[in-house]
Amino acid sequence: MDQIPPPAVTGAAMDVTLPPRRGRRAAHFALTFAAIGAAGALLWQMLPRGLDVELRDVRIAKVEAGVFRDEIVVRALAEPLNSIMLDSVESGRVEEVFARDGQMVKKGDLLFRLSNPQRNLELLARQAEHAQQISNLANLQVAQEAVRTDHQRRLSDLAFALDQSEKQHARNARLAQDGFISTVALEESQDKLAQARRALDEERRGTRLEQGVRRRAQDQMDQAIRGLASGLELVAATVDALAVRAPSDGVLTDFRLLVGQAVRQDQAIGRIDDPNRFKLSAQVDEFYLSRVTPGREGRIAQDGKTYPLRVGTVYPQIKEGRFTAELVFLDAQPDVISPGQGMDVRLTLGHSTRALLLPNGAFANDGGGAWAFVVASDGSHAARREVKLGRRSPTQVEVLSGLAAGEQVIVSGYTGFGKAERLRLTD
């Protein structure tokens, strides 16, 4: 048996000398163990352990067969079914306010009154112009009446002269037949008769022409006066518009005028709401845009009663991931309802059918409905798997493919997992 000599110590350094054969064997074993350790460490690094996730940070649900109820619940606000906007036809300064916001008003009730000196001056000017034109028309009518009277007198004189000439000519004709007057005298009386007839005809023709001219002049004057009267009515209407009245019965809303406030023309100053009929305006997730269409039915429950609804109008403009749908009551509406009141509407999108189901959760949006993290049977880890999700409701998600009944899926959000393909679930 080989003896190991004691080490030689020189100062602080110690030199250990091993026999040649035993030293080679120990070095060989050391290299072998080092290689095995390095390989094990590399293999450990290559194993797909996945991202460590604590069970308390996720929500896991089981895929189950059941009935998918194709409906959603949306929050809707009550709005008046009919509203009339109030604006100011004229600009001016608020002199008096006769109503207040929230007040029930009747058609024709005075709401407020404005002052506008310029409109008052325009009204006075139009009134003066109208009065002047009426005076001009009266003067024209007086003048025309005087001319007509003069013509009538001349016609009477000419008619009388014609009658006298006819009688004189008849007498001359009998006398000439008996030989008492000459033929020359008879011809003179005949010429006078013809002249009297011509004078009367010319006077009548002149009278007709003059009457036509007078009639046209009077018609033009009447038309001008009617135009002035219409303008006067318009100006008067603008002055009357300074006193604003309620156009219909209803509740005065968003009405906050103050005395002394300046009001611009066409400025919105409030509205009048129908206090008896309401509609609901709901904000719906854009995911349901293709399925929420006019005619879809819904319902609300209030005070132990159910009230049926129908989608009336859909506004497809997307804002902050939502669009607007308006619903109207089919029959009765709740007895107590106020503008702006919030209600939960259960909106039916289709018929109920049997399907594989998962609880609705953030995973449906984070995975885009194309993949999900499926938990292994022993619960130690979860792997990413391609799936196909279908319809959704507030509580359910329809599974079309990729999952089987009884499998467990992480249904909470995936945003914290990054691009991980595997999750290691720890307590």
Q: Which CATH superfamily is domain 72-81+277-348 in?
A: Efflux pump adaptor protein, beta barrel domain (2.40.30.170)
Fold of domain 51-69+353-426: 2.40.420
Coil vs helix vs strand at 377 = coil
Q: How confident is the model at residue 82 (pLDDT cuts 50, 70, 90)?
A: confident
Coil vs helix vs strand at 225 = helix
Coil vs helix vs strand at 185 = helix
Q: Which helix (H) or strand (E) holds 282?
A: strand 278-285
Fold of domain 83-116+242-272: OB fold (Dihydrolipoamide Acetyltransferase, E2P) (2.40.50)
- How far apart CA 411 and CA 17 sit, in angstroms, is 67
The pLDDT tens digits of the residues spanning 27-58 come to 565 666 665 655 544 443 444 557 899 999 99
Residue 347: burial class (beta carbons within 10 Å; 0-12, 13-18, 19+) = buried
- How far apart CA 314 and CA 307 sit, in angstroms, is 20
pTM of the model: 0.47
Amino acid at 125: A
The pLDDT tens digits of the residues spanning 359-396 come to 989 998 888 889 999 999 998 999 999 999 988 887 88
Lowest mean pLDDT segment, chosen from 30-44, 155-169, 281-295: 30-44
Q: Which helix (H) or strand (E) holds 313?
A: strand 305-319
Spans of all domains in the chain: 8-46, 51-69+353-426, 72-81+277-348, 83-116+242-272, 117-240
Lowest mean pLDDT segment, chosen from 68-72, 204-208, 229-233: 229-233
The pLDDT tens digits of the residues spanning 174-194 come to 888 877 888 888 788 888 888
Determine the pLDDT at residue 31: 64
Distant-in-sequence, close-in-space partners of 34: CB < 8 Å, separation ≥ 6:
none
The pairing of beta strand 64-68 with beta strand 353-359: antiparallel
Radius of gyration of the chain (CA): 54
Determine the pLDDT at residue 101: 87
Q: Where are the beta strands (DSSP E) in 341-380?
A: 342-348, 353-359, 371-375
- pLDDT greater than 60 at residue 19: no
- How far apart CA 242 and CA 114 sit, in angstroms, is 5
Length of the chain, please?
427
In DSSP terms, which residues pair with 245 in a beta bridge? 110
